[in-house]
Amino acid sequence: MALLLLEALGALLLLVFIVWWTMFSGRKNGELKDSAHPAPDTESDRK
């Protein structure tokens, strides 16, 4: 029984580590701002 609990704890720790790694392993200064990639002007396309 103790082995099952130890295995479940290991799986939980692995899951927490994977979630933490994916959340906090991005760019050093965060995501790019919206001004870096301006959206195309849709009104100029209609003219």
- Per-residue pLDDT of 1-47, as tens digits, reads 999 999 999 999 999 999 999 988 876 766 667 665 566 666 665 55
Amino acid at 14: L
- Per-residue confidence (pLDDT) for residue 7, from 0 to 100: 98
- Per-residue confidence (pLDDT) for residue 16, from 0 to 100: 97
- Per-residue confidence (pLDDT) for residue 12, from 0 to 100: 98
Of all residues in the chain, what percent are helix, strand and coil, respectively (each to 5)?
65, 0, 35
pTM attached to this predicted model: 0.53
Largest CA distance in the chain: 73
